[in-house]
Amino acid sequence: MPPFHRPSRAGTAAVTLSAALSIGLGLTAAAPAAHAQTTDTQPAAATSAPVLPGKIVYAQLTTPDLSKAKTFYGSLLGWTFQDRPVSRGHYAEAFVNGHVVAGLVERPLPDTANPPHPIWLPFISAPDVPALAKSSRQWGAKVVFRPTMIQGRGEQAIIADPQGALFATLRAPQGDPNDTDTTAQGDWIWNALLTSTPSASAGFYQKLFGYQVEAAPAPDTNQRYILESQSVARATVNPLPPRLPPNARARWLSFVQVDSVGSAAEKAVQLGGRVLVEPHLDHQNSMIAILADPAGAAFGVMEWHDPIAAGDAK
């Protein structure tokens, strides 16, 4: 199963906090493709590798133009791609240094005057996807695509949380990568949930994945929370930026490690993308920016220069 290799630390909570105050994203998102690969009704093979509930282990982009997306992300992040046969549409896997970092699914946008933006969908590890999907409904979420076995990936479901943020949950047959893998240019490194109800949202994910929830360290303690599992920080929960209406749909935002945020922002524009939040230092002095690809899918970029190996537990 392709992982999110990234450093995890409690202090990383501030990675996206300043961005959360200024980012402006679309209010609607294109529904992600449920079956990027040919479905398989057989159970996943047994594994002795550990499952790390709550770890964000994968990401998938739904985009109206796969070829243009491959050109953009390949040129910007150094990703290479391998097309995969699917039952319908087109699908490709993205690689960095020989390991898979993402899946890209081609899906046309609705022919409307105000079509939704494509999105990056985070996949969160769970030991029992059907049970988790059932529990999510009890706590106010909506199961967008029911639990399904996907060949080569495992059992997955797509869920909208009570505030509308879309995410997928996954049980990979080979288990999850451990938290000591190092990161490099092009790897996913951090995740943040932007929501109008940070406290309630943190509580929802705590019940669903068993996260330990902590308030973000000063100066970011105002309704900002860290989600941790296995004593490792996995994501932050942040307020929606003030420029969005208070009833705006919540959304997940994932960050990619780059060698230079400034250079990445400039190149993104040259490749047809946009800079949604200009490069700046966050409260932990990490350089970040928020970008959008040519189709409008938002993602973050971040420099990471910590000499300690990624994934250190608290």
For 188-205, how does the pLDDT look when each residue is reduced to its tens digit (9 = 90+)?
999 999 999 999 999 999
By the 10 Å C-beta count (0-12 exposed, 13-18 middle, 19+ buried), 228 is classed as buried
Q: Which two tokens stand for residue 157?
A: 């479901």
Q: Domain residues for 99? A: 10-38+49-302
Instruction: Identify whether 3 is part of a domain.
Output: no
Instruction: Identify whether 310 is part of a domain.
Output: no
Residue pair 187/256 in contact (Cβ under 8 Å)? The answer is yes
Instruction: Identify whether 193 is part of a domain.
Output: yes
Rounded to the nearest 5°, which phi and psi values hold at 200?
Answer: -65, -40
Rg from Cα positions in the chain: 18
Across 26-44, average pLDDT: 44
- Chain length of the chain: 314
Instruction: Identify whether 308 is part of a domain.
Output: no
Rounded to the nearest 5°, which phi and psi values hold at 7?
Answer: -70, 145
Across 41-61, average pLDDT: 74
Instruction: Identify whether 2 is part of a domain.
Output: no
Any residues with CB less than 8 A from the CB of 266 and at least 6 apart, and which? none
> Is residue 218 pLDDT above 90, yes or no?
no
For residue 312, what pLDDT is reported?
40
- Can you give the CATH number for the domain in which 19 is found? 3.10.180.10
| pTM above threshold 0.85 | no
Instruction: Identify whether 54 is part of a domain.
Output: yes
Q: Which two tokens stand for residue 97?
A: 């240094």
Of 233-237, 241-245, 297-301, give the lowest mean pLDDT range: 241-245
- Tell me how far apart the alpha carbons of residues 165 and 193 are, in angstroms, rounded to a whole number: 8
By the 10 Å C-beta count (0-12 exposed, 13-18 middle, 19+ buried), 145 is classed as middle
Number of domains in the chain: 1
- Give the largest Cα separation in the chain, rounded: 50
Of 211-215, 216-220, 292-296, give the lowest mean pLDDT range: 216-220
- Tell me how far apart the alpha carbons of residues 192 and 167 are, in angstroms, rounded to a whole number: 12
Helix segments in the chain, DSSP class H = 17-20, 66-77, 129-138, 198-209, 261-270
For residue 95, what pLDDT is reported?
95
DSSP-derived letter for residue 12 is: G
